[in-house]
Amino acid sequence: MTTLAFDVYGTLIDTAGVTTALRQHVGDNAVTFSNLWRQKQLEYTWRYGLMGHYQDFNICTQQALAYCCDQLECDISLADQKTLMDGYLELPAFNDVMDGLEALKSAGIEMYAFSNGRPTDLSALLDHAQITPYLSGVVSVHPKQTFKPNPVVYQHFVDSSGASREDCWLVSSNGFDVCGAVSVDMKAIWIQRNNAVKFDHWTQRPTKVIDSFSKLKNIFV
């Protein structure tokens, strides 16, 4: 049976959803702040993974927020930083997600969330975005104490879902995630929502490329 592993942050969930809240604190710098926050959040996961000194995704996000405050010289109080962090549990789904999930669910496709996030945070986030009912389960990298694209986390997904690797497809808008899956012989779909964003010039290439989550039904339904 075909099993889909959906990346969460940046694929199902729009991390730019925090921009509205940021405007209250940094005004016109909100988009710049949001983009840097996401960039540093991912950078910290890679650093901790390479160092073998695991800190969970929430800590990476919190430390990235503090960095942005310093780098962009934004005086956001610790209380307001906590409020922004709490907002990470209430980020919205992308507009194209529900249509895709509905079609795939109707076709009987097995679907999981597969993320760097902590299990409790993922549950809260996916419940808030009303995605949970479509999923057969949620697989976090947290038990492996490392992050994507470490090969062990993709094997962890295969083991947790009970699917065969040949039947597993990763679906992600993050190029590094796609490369990680393909490098361990999983199939992978890259969602290129922005034409200005190009895929890495690596030997690992997406199995398929689409520009909208809703177009998954053209592949599997």
Contacts 24+ apart (CB under 8 A), 46-54: 46/147, 48/146, 48/147, 49/146, 49/147, 49/150, 52/146, 54/145, 54/146
Q: Which residues contact 198 (CB under 8 A, 6 or more apart)?
A: none
* Prior bond of 149 cis (ω within 30°): yes
Three-state DSSP string of 150-210? CHHHHHHHHHHHCCCHHHEEEEECCHHHHHHHHHCCCEEEEECCCCCCCCCCCCCCCCEEE
For residue 43, give the 3-state DSSP assignment: helix
How distant is the alpha carbon of residue 50 from its chain centre?
A: 19
Q: Which of 7, 14, 121, 177 is catalytic?
A: 7
Q: Is 211 a known active-site residue?
A: no
The residues annotated with a catalytic role in the active site are 7
